[in-house]
Structures are given as structure tokens and as C-alpha cells.
Structure 1
Amino acid sequence: MGTSFYKQGRVVDRNLAEVLSAFFAGEQPQVRPLGSGNINATYLVCSDEERVVLQRINADVFADPEVVVNNFVVICRFLQKKNAQAESPLSLAAPRATLDGQLCYRDAAGGVWRAQAYVESVEPLLTPGEGAVSVGRTLGLFHALLRDLPPSSIHDPLPGLHNLSAYLLAYDRCDPEAFAPDNQTLSFCRESIAKHRLQLLNLDRALKADGKGRCVVHGDPKIDNFIFHPPGIAAGLFDLDTVSAGNLFYDLGDCLRSACNPVGEDIDTGQSPSFDLDICADILGGYCSVASDMFAGGVRQIYDGLLVLCFELAVRFVSDYLQGNVYFTVRQKDQNLLRARAQLLLFQDILRRRQEIYARLDKTYKAVC
């Protein structure tokens, strides 16, 4: 059986046949693109014996892809040991070695590839209730199980992650006038960033200086990175590439800004995001049911982390648009700009409803914890 070559974003993986032969013996299996991830090129490989996820790690994002691979193996082995003793084990996508037993394969062009077992996951229609509770419970279990992981056993795969000051510096270096100065969406984004940047920088610095919430975090717990079992119950997490020592309030904030926005990140200009407080309360309740001691009442920090992550992601999206879409994968030229607009509209909704959201967070925390 021949192998087709597929395009994900702008990159065609012309070395795919070579890579497949490093992981699979005999006749080459069927392969197709998988998922809608923004960073790595991802394929589902199907043979008679198994289904495997094959990924080329984006070296433009991760300076040392082999650090990502080694971290993934360390984290999976650690969680597998924890799962053996856990009442509610986390679903994991276990690493899968090459035919000669290596953790990854470097192709002729220098690309680094790794494989992992395919884990079936249904697409959730997240609403208030057990599905939302399970998202919080899963993230809480993840944080709680990894609290004993020695920080020295993994290396930082993405230095500068959640560094708002650095993201704003990169944004300031862009030249918006060179990209459609009459673009109303771009003007909206620029004005919103200018209006709120000082406030958010202060919040970001306060969160980092506070010292609460330091632990090993996922780094990218958006709703798409949760493993859902039928009928839509979260049971684990995909995409462990950004796991490192960090701040759980950024993790919670990232989870909430993604899960509590029913229209999602990729919307057209006719839609307007809003923050669903009922989903938020259920996620926090699920988290507190297994990991309330992780943050010990930091309700204010949860809100601040949510606000910072919305703003931070908007800055990153608009910067990537202005730089020619070099970081996040896009299907159309202005997709990152539309993503930035969506995050800023969500940010404004969260900012406008501060008292309401804070009161609900506080009520939920006190009721559950």
C-alpha cells in the first residue's frame, strides 16, 4: 500500500514514508492527518495490529524537540506508576518506540518525530453538569498526581511560556501599519491591547510574585487537550509537551477561558464569545473535589489567572498574524487575527462581569472546599 502525503497548515511532510519505515515493519500502513492542533504536525497511522499517533515536533516552537520527547516519557512513566495506586486513574497516551527501540526518530531533513498509542476521545458538547465537573476533576488529579514529580527529572520545554512582558515586547516589535492599516479588526485589537496592557502586566507580575500555586502544570489545558470518554466525561489529558514547573492559576485560567467559552477560539466576525459561569462553577467544583489543597483558597488568583490568560493569548495571536502566521497553524491568512479578536471579546466580558464571576468563584469554593 502506498503512502499519501498530506499538508497541515503550510508544511508538507515529504519525509513521511521514511519516518513510517522507522516505526513500522513491512508494508506501510494507512496514514491521515489527525486533529486541529495549532503547533505540531499530527497523523493517525493505522495498521492491522494497532493505531498510533505520529507527530513531527515543531522545531520553530520547541528549540530542542528531544527535550519534549524525553519529558513526555518521564511524565508518562511517572503517571503510570501513580495510576496503579489511584482510585481514579488518568487516561494517557503511552509512548511508542521506533523499531530499534528509540524514543524518537530524526528524519533526513532534521525533523524530530515521536509516536504514541492512539486514545479514542469523543468530541464534547460541554454544558453545565457532570461533563464540566469531570474537566475540573481531571485537571485537579493531574496537578495532584504530579506534585511528587521531582522538578529536576524534566526540563523546561518552552522557556518564556506565560511571560506576558516578553509577549508584549514581541508585539511591540511588529509593524501593524505594514499590514492593512484600514483593517477594523486589527484596529480593535490594537486599541484593546493598548488600553489594558499596564493593568494586565501588573496582574501578571503579582501572580508570579505571590508564590502561591507553584507546582508541575500541564501548560496548555485547553478543552481540546482533554480526553473524553462517552458520553462526554473527561478522563485524561493529551499534549504533555508543555508540562513543566509553573503556576496552577495559569493552568486553571487557560482551562476556564477555553471551556467556558461555548463558541470557541475559531469564530467569524458575526459571533461574540461570552463566559459561561455555570460551566465555570462546575469545573472549579470538580477541581476542588480532588485538589483543593493545591491552592488553598486563592479565589482571587483564579480570576486573575483567567483574565491574564485571555489577554496573553490575544497578544500572541495578533503578534503571530502580524509576523506572517509563523507560530500557530492557520487555514486562512486572517485566522490568527480573528482568534485574537475572539479572545479580546471574551476578555472584555470577563472584565465587565468581574464582581459576578468573583462572587460565584468564592461561593463555589466555600461550598465544595
Structure 2
Amino acid sequence: MLTDVKIENICRKFGIEGEYRSYEKITSGHINRTYKVYFFRDGELKDYILQGVNTYVFKDPEKVMDNIISVTEYIRTKIKSTGISAKRYVLHYQMTADGKYYYYDEKGGFWRCSRFIDDSQTFLTASPFVMEESGKAFGEFQKYLSDYPVKDLFIAIPHFHNTILRFDTFRKSVEADVCGRAKGVKNEIEDYLALENRATETYRAQRAGILPLRVTHNDTKCSNVLFDRKTQEHLSVIDLDTVMPGLVAFDFGDAIRAGANSAAEDEKDLSLVSLDLTKYEAFTRGFLGVDKDALTQAEIDSLAGGAIAMTLECGVRFLTDYLDGDKYFSTDYPEHNLVRARCQLALAKDMLTHYDEMRDIVLKYAR
């Protein structure tokens, strides 16, 4: 059990000085344990973010931190080259006395600590304005790292967006049917398999050499952006554990899947599920407004399809987990993963009906 004494002791390992005051748990994340810690120094409170990294998900946390430090320092250099301070626009991690950006506690727990960016906030749901600002944040992330040596990055989670593998795994789960649930979801199984080519075409384009690998974030929800508390303008991209080689279309697409759904991810009434084109356009405007010159034409052409691919991938993962007995995703009731899978399927189908409009919006802001 974590106590104030343990929290303070871990923070001291990262060279934090001043009088320890308190900590609070941040509950918005689902993978790592995150705490906001307060120290009093130089006449004012100083805030830090302390995280215990989930080493079940991230098998080699030291290499994950190597990715994070390399990428954040690269971005910091780019920002400083423009003549402005990078203090509020990129994460800054604390170093231990022996020059490391992490600390192992007595039980082998892996910890890291960063400065809290002053007067910042996150949003769990996005207005069109927040979607546009999120688009700017992830567009700048891509732009700053467009010339980063992507092959130097450690692959934190192998095959993370390998949609071909996701569907192969799904097919095996259907055949195994370990929980006897396949018969009751025959229609959903058939619908997903019918859309497999759409789900995998972006990944296949990368394998064919049409789309280049870039430094990608791989979890582009608006909740992974910090915004100014007063203006709501974007400040910094956060939650960088999944930074690794990937496709721009998948970062773009996952942001649309998560932020431009007119309903919740687990909405049971599928008549409420649709693509919010206003939010889609807002994100596209923000993203391409800063990143279009760093992308190839093939990448630009892949963006709309990337949204469909990420929605289908997420949905097929939910359905796979439902067939396997709900082992991966946490659920609140027995059919929760099935409801999620149906919702993603409905969203993907609506995207397909609006695909021409989605492409037109991309081309509008790519000019």
C-alpha cells in the first residue's frame, strides 16, 4: 500500500527538494498508476507527476523510457530553435542521482517522475474546439519528429496496430469458441469478416512500401493532450509509453474513432452512433494545418481510411475478447465487450457511408 512516506521517498530519489505536502491519485488512466505530488519550495507549491509503470504491459520499461526521453528531448530542441521556451510544450522528466530517468523500488516497481505543466488540464470528451486543438497538438508532434530516425525507436508493444494479425487472432477465437459465445454473435462475426479488407488495407499499404513508418503516438485520445486552463489551447502531448514506429493514418484515425463518435464507446442504442463530421473536420483542420507539408501525398490519401481501419481494429479486439471470456479489457457487465464491438461496428459502417465526405475534408485542408 502506498503511503505519504513512500511517495515522498520515491520523489526524493528524483532529486526533488522542498517540504513534502501531499499527493492525490489521478484515476483517468487505465494502465499505469499516476499521482500528482505537491512540494513546497521557494515560497510556493511545486507540482510533479509520479508514475508507477505497468511492467506487465510494458515488458522492457527502461527501453520505453529511452524512447520517451529521446523523443521529448528532440521536440524540446525543435521548439527552442524557434526562440520560445519549451517549458509548457513538452514533458520534462526528473533524473535520479545516478543519472537515470527511472527508479526501481525495493519490490521491483518501476517509477518515473516529471514536472507538472502549470495551469494545464485534460478533457475526457471533446468539443469541436478541443478536437481542433488536439489535431494541432498531434500534428505538431508529427511535424517535430518528421525527421527523427524512426528505426532507432524501441517497439514497446510488437504488432500493436497489425490489423492483419488482429483479424487472424479473431478468426482463431471464433474457431476455438472457448466460452460457447460464437453462435450468439454470428451476425457480428460475419459483418467484421466482411470488412476485413477495409480494416487491413492501410497496414498492407505500409508493407508494400507505399506508406512510410513514422514516429507515432499510438494513443491519440484528446485526454492525452494537455490544454491551457484559461484558453483551452493545446500545450503538450502526454502519455508517451506507446511512442514507436507506426503510420500517420493510424494516429489520425484513432483520434477520430475516439473523439468524433456521436455516442459513448459502449452505447447500446446503435441509432445514436454516428460519425460527427463537425468534430472530424475540426480535428482534420488542426492536424493538417500544421503537418500537411511534412506528409507524402500517399499519407494524406490514407487518412480517411485510417479512421475506418482503427475503428474496425478496435471493434474486432472487443469482439475477440468477448469470445475469449473478457480476459483483456475490463468490463462492467457480461455483455460489455459485445456492446463495445457493436458500437464500433456501427461507427465504422457510418464512416463508410460518409467516406467520400471524409476524403473531401482531408483534401480541403491538405491544399
TM-score by length of 1: 0.82
1:302 match: 303
Matches of 1:268 and 1:53, distance apart in 2 = 33
Matches of 1:247 and 1:84, distance apart in 2 = 27
Q: Is residue 185 of structure 2 the alignment partner of residue 193 of structure 1? A: no
Q: Is residue 92 of structure 2 the alignment partner of residue 102 of structure 1? A: no
2:316 match: 315
Moved more, 96-105 or 244-253: 96-105
2:349 match: 348
Whether the aligned pair in 1 keeps the contact of 2:131 and 2:222 (CA below 8 Å) is no
CA distance 1:70–1:331, change in 2 (3 Å): farther
Deviation of 1:143 (Å): 0.8
2:268 match: 269
1:21 match: 9
Q: Structure 2: any 5+ residue segments left out of the alignment?
A: none
Q: Is residue 43 of structure 2 the alignment partner of residue 47 of structure 1? A: no
Whether the aligned pair in 2 keeps the contact of 1:39 and 1:329 (CA below 8 Å) is no
Matches of 2:331 and 2:249, distance apart in 1 = 28
Matches of 2:54 and 2:171, distance apart in 1 = 25
Amino acid at match of 1:46: Y
Helix, strand or coil for the counterpart of 1:95? Answer: coil
CA distance 1:353–1:142, change in 2 (3 Å): same
1:244 match: 244
Deviation of 1:350 (Å): 0.4
The partner residue of 1:38 within 30, 36, 45 is 30
Q: Is residue 131 of structure 2 the alignment partner of residue 132 of structure 1? A: yes
Amino acid at match of 1:85: S
Matches of 2:200 and 2:122, distance apart in 1 = 37
Matches of 1:279 and 1:109, distance apart in 2 = 45
Query: What is the aligned length?
Result: 351
Matches of 1:332 and 1:16, distance apart in 2 = 35
Helix, strand or coil for the counterpart of 1:284? Answer: helix
1:8 match: none
TM-score by length of 2: 0.82
Helix, strand or coil for the counterpart of 1:96? Answer: coil
Q: Structure 1: any 5+ residue segments left out of the alignment?
A: 6-13
CA distance 1:20–1:102, change in 2 (3 Å): farther
Q: Is residue 247 of structure 2 the alignment partner of residue 255 of structure 1? A: no
Helix, strand or coil for the counterpart of 1:306? Answer: helix
Whether the aligned pair in 1 keeps the contact of 2:135 and 2:283 (CA below 8 Å) is yes
Deviation of 1:19 (Å): 5.9
Moved more, 267-276 or 248-257: 267-276
What fraction of aligned residue pairs are identical, expressed as a percent? 26
Matches of 1:47 and 1:338, distance apart in 2 = 44
Amino acid at match of 2:126: L
* CA deviation vs aligned residue, 1:67-107 (integer Å, no higher than 9, x gap): 11221112222211111123786722211234665311223
CA distance 1:224–1:183, change in 2 (3 Å): farther
1:234 match: 234
CA distance 1:204–1:148, change in 2 (3 Å): closer
The two structures, once aligned, show a CA RMSD in angstroms of 3.1
Matches of 1:324 and 1:115, distance apart in 2 = 36
Whether the aligned pair in 2 keeps the contact of 1:218 and 1:242 (CA below 8 Å) is yes
